[in-house]
Structures are given as structure tokens and as C-alpha cells.
Structure 1
């Protein structure tokens, strides 16, 4: 695919199913074996297993760690491990997987190691209270003692960080694997399948996290150091380990990779010896110069898009508890109850969001074929701009309806509640586009220009995690400038979405519908 004078991308090389590695034309991975659509679907199942555990992280871990003694402020900084892990781990793993010469394939060894580490991390987090007692925490019954347990907290944080690093070890190679195997189906179809598995994992994870009966079904999980909430967390995470193991086995069986034989066109030293390819984190930054044409624009628009999404991802349930149900996690009993009720309804909204995301993911590829990926991506940013602005209108509606009475705080207006749930569900459509189209465009650029699927996917992740760091560090002070609440951050998100839409309209590579069909395998 070569750039034309008008900015249109024109196919000039054959596409090998998105299997471009780090070596471009010298990439000696065998051409992918033709794969059926059903086999491709099963090859991506590991994404659902990983996302199951991630949904549990979002729904259970922040409340739980506060029972161990960490303050609410410290928990927000703890979540910075995610973007840090993504910034460091995914590009390096992507680069190494591009060059892996294992007989098992380039991607599967990293997926296997990452999933094993996820299982270890989940067990550490789930049993952190029991490990803390063994290390010297109080032996008082958890029903009687409600103070800090610092050994357990330290073990928990270490397990939490290991969990995030392990998730990032799997996600890059798993996406690159789907692009490698996509063949005639194309990277867009592969990303839609990946997105669908993520949606299913979210649905199962949020459902599991909202279940308060794990300690009843598995009473042996309760100990003197681990009461009902802790036992529920243990049960949910142990089920997550079983599901991830099943998903991993299915992926390893149905994802048939051909071994990568290495790049034999490496530069020669003065003495005639072959100069080894650079490795390590510095090699990732050296790889930026080998990114395919159009990738810098994709990185910029991706960053702006995620700047518009992260405020909602971080504060959606908090918004429901504060602005919609008028609760306060540190207020009176009635305000605390109202806040918790809002959080639960917000979690149900996330479940609806995941259902819509799953169904929408099947429509992304046909939309991209008909309209082109650039128009689909830009349209999703405009939708997010409108949705983030709608949060301010709904909040104003809710506050106008609220008169300060206790019964108002406990019982939210049914119309407002319905509007919020509709908003949560509606956002599943642009979220499906966000989870699919940028990665599909990246896979197409890497396949046609030989930039390396793993490296390009890892570099794309940098444009995701940097906005996450910016929002995590800046959203709180930004909200404080305008008073308490989440509306200032949502307003800023609406502005970023608008900027991202305009930037995408003028900067994203113009892949025509005909070219998209050819690259994505839609021409047959």
C-alpha cells in the first residue's frame, strides 16, 4: 500500500492476512494456513478470558482494598500501574513476539506465559488477607476487627501490579495473533471477533462481580481473616481462573501458527558477521522510524479519542452515585446508601453497555466496508462528544429535581434513571468502534508496509496509556477547580471527542471502500 499524491492509500503489495512482522519484506514467517471463520473465532477466545478478570478488577478491587487500610486517594494512584504496564510491557512484548522463533509460533508463547502469570496474580490478590495473617497481621476475627491490615495490603498491591503487567503481556500478542491468522477474512473481521470476546468477558465478569452469593455457594472460602466480601472476591476470581484456563486451552488448540524463521537480510559487520537485531526497550523506540506511513496520524487520533473516553471509564459509577442518586460515600447513612445504590445501578448500566458492545462489534466490519474506516471512526467521536455533553444535561435535570430531602436522595427519579441506562447502553456502539477500528487500521498498515504487527500494536497502546495517565492525574484537580463532582471532567471529555473527530476527518489515512474490502478480505 503506497501513498498517492492526494493522500489516498493505494494497494501495491499483496496482503498476507495481516501477518507482517518486524522485518517487512524480509519477514520469513510462513504464509498463514487458510483458516475457517469458526476456527478464527475460537482462536480469539483468550481475549474473553482476560477481559473476564479485567471486569472483576473494575467492579471489585477498589472497594476491597479500602477494607485493608488504603485510603481512597491511594487507590486511584494504584490504578496508575495499568498505563505504566501498558507503556512499558506491550511495546516490548510486541517487538519480541514479532521476532520470536519458537516452534510453537510467535505469539502463543507470550500468551501462555501471560495467562499463567494472570492466574498467579489473581490467587495472590484473592488470598491476600490470609497471606497477610501469615506474615503478621492481626489474628482477630474479621467480623470484630475493622482496622488496617498492612501486610495484606502490601501483598494485595503487589498482586494487583502483577495482574496488570500480566494482562498487558497477553493483550498485544493476542491481537497480533488474530491479525496474523485472519487470512482472507481480513484484520477487520479479526478485530471484530476480538472485540466480541471482550464484550462477552465483560458481561460474564460484571455479572460475576455483582453476585454476592459466592461465600454461600463456597463456604470454605471464608476464614477468620476473610469475611463475606473477601470470600465473594475469592470465589469470583477462582471462577475467573477456570474460565481463563479454558479460554487459553481453546486458543492454543485452534490457533495454528507457523514458526518464524528469522530475518536473514540483517546488516553485516565489518568482519563479515551478521549484526544481531537490537533488543530491549530502546529497540522499541528505534522501531518508531520503521512505522508504516499513516501510523503517526493514527496514534494522534487514538490519543485524542481515549482522552475523551477515560473520564467516563474512571468515574461512570461514581457519577451515578453522586450526581444522579445524590449520595455521598462519606456522608450520612442515607447518603451512603444512596451512593451505593447508584453505584450498583451504574454497574448494571455497564452490563448493558457490554451487551450492546458485543452486538455492535458484528456490525463494525460491514460499516467499514460500506463507509470506510475513517468515516466510522470519526462518527464514533462525534457520538461520544454528544454523549459526554448529555451527562451534564442529565445531571442538571437530576439536580433540578432534587430538593434535598432524604427520600429524594434514596429514590432517584425513574425517568432520569432510565435516561442514564439508555446513555450507558448507547455508549456501547462507539466503544465497539474504539475497540476495533483503530486496531484494524493499524493491522492493515502493518500488513501492507511490513511494520510488524506486534510492534505496531504495542506502539498503538502507548497512545492509549498516555491519555490514561493524564486523566488519572489531572481529572481530580480539574474537577476541584469547578467544585466537587464529575461534570467538569465529562465536559472536558466532550471537547476532546470533538477535537478528535475533526483531527480524524483531516488526518487519518484515506482507505477507500474498495481497498478496505481487498485488505480486509471482503472482496470474495
Structure 2
């Protein structure tokens, strides 16, 4: 028997010990979780503390205090990572798809997929965030999930061709599976491939059809994920910023949000402008495109992590619990929960705090805290926090608010649609305009032809113009808050759109390299305007609880239940509709006009229409 026990002291013995320990832990877990895995997951992630007097309340007092610029930068860091990913997308998705055999006429269909999905799905996601019951809050779970989509897109786009080879796509001649060509490699074999790969091809090149069905599938999937999630992630990011800041900080917070977006675009385009093929990092990571996407992926993860770990959100059940305190008053709520068997003071949860007083001195501190917060609330037009979800509002009610919008939200949507259409003209087609109209290049000329070289030179020069627009966006966002306080929101909104309209008009007339750099700064003014003004107005509407005016021009209290996450998502979804419309129309417009100058001309006209629409927006003395 002793020998038998001795034999079990080896690997078999350790396995039996591990098995017994695991069985014991499972039995213990099952006793404590009779509802099974489903109930366990629900308990882990979903708050079920409504009406539970044994709940432990955390401190949420940070939500009711003013935020420093450093704190606002941290809350806004996620959008900087998003703009980095945008820069990689706009710079390299089209060349990557062309390299693996996608035709130019099919490119617009690729760009139309994401807007088609996002236009319908983003407002629904906004409504879901208004009623999200997770313990981690209402916005951060959506930021996290959409960031995973962006992350997957950043992986698939530069590696889609390789994944295609792994799935059975035909590998080009003289290229083994470990060699990755950079984005500068031509789709056809020739001199460029010799130079890029450092290989000598024979005079007679074997026939190769450049067909990558799986590679195209993975690259397009990555493009759709990257484009949709990057756009959709901005809505909960903005709502999160508005949720954790007081109304006095909304203008400062949104301007900081736009500054971070502008800096992300500026450094993102600059990162793509470096020739990574000639660096050790580029060689190690497998070429220019992979180097850029790898670095941007790391930056994106850091930025999003920095934001979602910044401030705790108040869970939905505390908002619903808070409704009882508002109806009873602070004193009654304090007395009620003071006498509870648990002796926990739940009323602090209703005003963003957690204390469990055990002495008379502590109780006096709690009463003083309630008094201070009540005074802060009394300064607001609406004594109830306007960003709190109504405890009686269901998800269906929020969905109905998407269809039945007040006139003020409809006008914001129309204005934002014109703004995004004007901006998409610039952001997606600007480099092509510079290459053809400014540098007189030809994108379909043979390799080595002078006109082809001029076009590529123009595209690179256009990237510097776009870099300047991103820098302009960051600079203008630093002063937009002061401009609003000095001139008023209406003049800043309309004026920003007219500046862009004028700049694009002058660029279309001059078609000069100096104009490309100079007038690109006006694009930054417009981008900062559309990133800040609509959402500042939405926050203002919710803070005042007013979405309509009477015939006499007086403020009318809104009887409809609306969520700020839903409204932010509705207005943000205009970017998808704008991109979808332009992806269908712009090719025809350029073809009919016979020149890419039509790109900036249309941008100027659309911005002018947006300025007219902005004059009809309700500002409520902002």
C-alpha cells in the first residue's frame, strides 16, 4: 500500500490532487450560486441592488464637482486614440484594397457599408446606453465593446492579405508566405516589386491574376469594423464626458474633447508620413503599413484605457433609487435610512456619495454634505440632475424618442448632416483633388510616367494639408469656449461654417500649393465646430429640460422623456448618412464635371447650406 501511495506522488498524484481541489471549489461555488452560471454572470455584471438595504454604496461625489483641464484630458483621451485609427484608415485602406485587386468602382461600395449599418444602429446603441444596467456604468461598457471592434479592425486591415493566404489564396510568384510587401508595392509585378523585395525577377514573369478573395474579405471586414466602431464609439465617449461633468464644465469639456481629437489626427497623419520602410522598426514589423498600424494599435489601447479608468459612473439602479429621495426630500430620506436595520445611509447614493456614519460627528458631516449638494442643485433650472435616466422610462420609450424628435433636435440633425457632408468631401477625397487638380497628375498613368509621379507627389503633399487641418482643429478648440462666452453660440456656430465654406471656395479657385496648406486650416475650424457645438447645445437642452419654445418665444418644458445618450447618438449618426450619400454621389459629380475641383466646390456649397441651417437652431440664450 505504501508503494502504491508513493507511485501517486508523481504527475498522476498531482493531477488527482488538482482534480479533487477543483471538485471541492465547484461544489462550494454551486452552493453559493444556486441559480447557475446565468445568475452568477448577472450578479457579476448587472446591478440588482434596487430595494436592497444591504447594498454597499460607493463614493460618487466626483460627479458633482468642477473638473480640472488635466481631468478633462483624461476623460477625452479615448477620442485621441480614435482619431489615430481614423488617420490610419483614411491613409491606407484604399491603397491596401487596390493592392489586393479591388477595382476603383467598387471602392465606394466598401465605404458605403459602414455608414449603412451605423446610421440605423448608432441611435439604438445610444438608447441602450441610457438604460444600461451594468455595475460599471452606462457608457463605459459601450466604449469598451466598440473599442474591441476598432482593435479588431486595426488588426485585420494590414493583415487581411496574409489571413487570405492562410485560407488558401494564391500566393504571388517569388513571394513566400513570410514576406510582406509595403503599401508602396504595386499590385502588378514589375520594377517596384524588385525594388521593394530586393529580388531579381526573370525577364518572363509567370502569369498571375492578382485574385485575393479571402484577403479582400478579411480586409473589407476590418475596414467596416474600424470605420463603424470608430464613429460609433464617439457617441458614448461624449455622453460619458457629459455624465461625469457639471453643466458649468460642458463647454470646457467638449472643447478639450475636440482638442484631443485634433491632436490625434495631427500625430496620426504625421505617423503615416514617416517612411517606416527605411527604419529598424519598419523592417522588424514587416513594412510601412504594418509598422503604422502596430504603433497606432498600441496608442489606441493606451488612450482608451486611460479614459475608461478615469471616473466611476453611477450605475443605473442608483439613479432609479435616487428618484425616491428627490420626491421625499433630503431630510426625510436621511431619517428613513438612518433608522434602517443596516444603519446605512442610502440617501448619500442619491447625491453621489457613500457614508456609513457611526458617530454623531459623522452624521453632522453627512447632513452638511447633503446641504451643500442641495444648494448646488438649486442653482440649476432643473433640481433633478438632467442627465439622470427617468426610472419609469423603458427602452421602448427611448426608441420612440428617436422617431418623434422635437424641432430643436431635428434642426441640429439637419445642420450636422450638412456639416459632415462638407467635411467628408474634404477628408476622403482631398488628396485626390490635390494630386490631380493642383499637381496636374494622373492616377491611372503607367508606372514611371511623369504624370503618375506628379499625382503621387500631390497625394503626399495633400497629407500635409490634412495634417495642418488637424492641427488647426486643436488650436481653434482652445479658444472656442472663450468665443462662445464672448460672441454667443449662434455666431460661433454659423461663423465657423462660413469660414470653412469660404476657404474651400478660395481653394477651388486658386488650385495652388500655398492654398492647399493655407485653406486647410479653415477645415480645422469647421471640424472643431461640428465636434463641439451640436453636443454643447444638446447638453444645454437637457440641463434646462427645454427642447421647444412657445409661439411667444418662451421656453416650453418638454413632456417627452429623452435620454442624453440617445440624443447624442442621433446627432452623431448624421456622419454615417453623410458618408453614405457622398459615397453614392461623389463619383458621379466628379465624372460629370470632369475635374476633382468639384470635391472642394461641393464642400464649400454644403458648408454654406449648413450655415443657413444653423441660423434656425434653438440656442436658449447660450
TM over 0.5: yes
Per-residue deviation at 1:472?
1.5
Provide the TM-score with structure 1 as the length reference: 0.79
Q: Distance in 1 between matches of 2:90 and 2:465?
A: 14
Q: Which sections of structure 2, spanning at least 5 residues, go unmatched?
A: 1-59, 176-180, 182-192, 194-200, 202-207, 324-390, 546-560
- The aligned runs of 1:269-418 (5 Å cut-off) are 277-279=394-396, 285-288=399-402, 291=405, 294-332=408-446, 333-395=449-511, 416-418=512-514
1:425 aligns with 2:521: yes
Q: Distance in 2 between matches of 1:203 and 1:362?
A: 15
Is the 8 Å Cα contact of residues 195 and 432 (structure 1) preserved in structure 2? Answer: yes
Q: Distance in 1 between matches of 2:113 and 2:107?
A: 11
Answer 1 or 2: higher relative contact order, Cα 8 Å, separation at least 6: 1
Paired position in structure 2 for 1:510: 619
Between stretches 330-339 and 385-394, larger displacement belongs to 385-394
* Matched position secondary structure for 2:316: coil
**CA offsets, 1:8-27, max 9 Å, x none?**
xxxxxxxxxxxxxxxxxxxx
Q: Distance in 2 between matches of 1:394 and 1:146?
A: 42
Per-residue deviation at 1:336?
0.8
Provide the TM-score with structure 2 as the length reference: 0.67
Equivalent of 2:119 in 76, 81, 87: 87
Q: Distance in 1 between matches of 2:445 and 2:95?
A: 17
1:440 aligns with 2:503: no
**CA offsets, 1:256-309, max 9 Å, x none?**
2111226589xxxxxxxx998245xxx665113664562122122222233333
Is the 8 Å Cα contact of residues 138 and 315 (structure 2) preserved in structure 1? Answer: yes
Paired position in structure 1 for 2:100: 68
Paired position in structure 2 for 1:168: 231
**CA offsets, 1:139-192, max 9 Å, x none?**
340647682322211111111112223223421100111111221543222211
1:239 aligns with 2:295: yes
Per-residue deviation at 1:63?
0.9
Is the 8 Å Cα contact of residues 508 and 597 (structure 2) preserved in structure 1? Answer: yes
Q: Distance in 2 between matches of 1:35 and 1:152?
A: 50
* Matched position secondary structure for 1:199: helix
Per-residue deviation at 1:337?
0.5
Paired position in structure 1 for 2:135: 103
Paired position in structure 2 for 1:485: 595
Paired position in structure 2 for 1:451: 562
Is the 8 Å Cα contact of residues 294 and 508 (structure 1) preserved in structure 2? Answer: yes
Per-residue deviation at 1:385?
2.2
1:196 aligns with 2:255: no
Inter-CA distance 503–46: structure 2 relative to 1 (3 Å threshold): closer
Per-residue deviation at 1:322?
0.5
- The aligned runs of 1:139-218 (5 Å cut-off) are 139=171, 140=173, 141=175, 143=193, 147-213=210-276, 216-218=279-281
Q: Distance in 1 between matches of 2:264 and 2:278?
A: 22
Paired position in structure 1 for 2:189: none
Q: Distance in 2 between matches of 1:98 and 1:247?
A: 24
Q: Distance in 1 between matches of 2:510 and 2:524?
A: 18
Paired position in structure 2 for 1:125: 157
Is the 8 Å Cα contact of residues 150 and 230 (structure 2) preserved in structure 1? Answer: yes
Q: Which sections of structure 1, spanning at least 5 residues, go unmatched?
A: 1-29, 223-230, 266-273, 396-415, 517-524
Q: Distance in 1 between matches of 2:591 and 2:119?
A: 28
**CA offsets, 1:404-441, max 9 Å, x none?**
xxxxxxxxxxxx31222111123212221122111211
**CA offsets, 1:25-45, max 9 Å, x none?**
xxxxx7834252221221110
Inter-CA distance 105–215: structure 2 relative to 1 (3 Å threshold): farther
Across the aligned residues of Structure 1 and Structure 2, the Cα RMSD in angstroms comes to 2.5
Is the 8 Å Cα contact of residues 127 and 395 (structure 2) preserved in structure 1? Answer: no
**CA offsets, 1:231-279, max 9 Å, x none?**
22111111112111111221122122111226589xxxxxxxx998245
Q: Distance in 2 between matches of 1:244 and 1:316?
A: 25
Q: Distance in 1 between matches of 2:250 and 2:533?
A: 10
Q: Distance in 2 between matches of 1:215 and 1:251?
A: 34
